[in-house]
Amino acid sequence: MPVTFTRTPTEIERKEPGIGGKPPVDRRPTGGGGGGGDDDWHGPRGSARDRLHRFRFFVFFGLSADMMAFAVLVVFFFARQTSRHLAPRTFEMIGDWRPILLPPIVYLNTAVLVLSSLTMEMARRGIFHEIDALEEWFGLGKPAVKRARPWLAATLILGGLFVAGQMEAWRQLTAEGFAFDRWATPASYFFYLITGLHALHLVLGVVFLGFCLCALSLLKQVQARQIAVDATAWYWHTMGLAWLLLLGVLAAGQ
């Protein structure tokens, strides 16, 4: 009578948090002589890493549209700066661009925003800390939350200070006679437009930070908390880089 052999079911180990700033992922199957191929990393609903990549894709897709809007605004800035018109009396090509001095507080605001980007990165690294994430995964407390929460709160405060500082810059520019009205010069008009659009995006980032602080307490899954902080961090870093580029454009137009 022929002998039949049956394969023992592969034992799947408990998920473990990722290392090096990555989200928790499924371990490769062990036992039963499994080959451990890459396909074993993905369950029927996708791994936590897949979800993180999807969220990052959506964040980058939205940010790419914002960056295109900023790029178009910069193109109009330089086009308007170099535009000329014909003088009716002398018949000469002259320009009406009159440079303005940037309020000194703008540079202080820049330092605050750079510092907030550092605190945001500390929060992101804290939520992905290997040992802390492992303890949260096994229900031994929330050390990663405790590590990330102070840095998120600091970023929220610094973001609010940046927006308040930009409002003070607008007040100072208005006091110098460059109010945002129909008498505004082209240079001051673009200053209000560029800084106002960026400040609007940063206010949205502050709202995301407030959501993250609430998510650390409300979201039950470790991966969900990590994804919320990671997506907000990428948005915040992008806005910080965008401001550095926009400040360089404004400084070049003085």
pLDDT tens-digit map of 103-148: 999 999 999 999 999 999 999 888 876 665 655 654 556 777 788 8
Domain limits, the chain: 49-252
Per-residue pLDDT band for 18 (boundaries 50, 70, 90) equals very low
Per-residue pLDDT, averaged over 182-210, amounts to: 86
DSSP string, 159-221: HHHHHHHHHHHHHHHHHTT--SSTT--HHHHHHHHHHHHHHHHHHHHHHHHHHHHHHHHH--S
Per residue in 45-85, pLDDT tens?
A: 556 677 777 777 888 888 888 888 888 888 888 777 766 55
Query: Regarding the domain delimited by 49-252, which CATH topology (the fold level of the hierarchy) does it fall under?
Result: Four Helix Bundle (Hemerythrin (Met), subunit A) (1.20.120)
Helix or strand or coil: residue 62?
helix
Within 10 A of 76 (CB to CB), how many other CB atoms are there? 12
Q: Which of 115, 219, 92, 224 is nearest to 162 (CA)?
A: 115
pTM for the whole structure? 0.72
Place of tokens 């960026």: 198
Identify the pLDDT of residue 46: 56
Identify the pLDDT of residue 222: 76
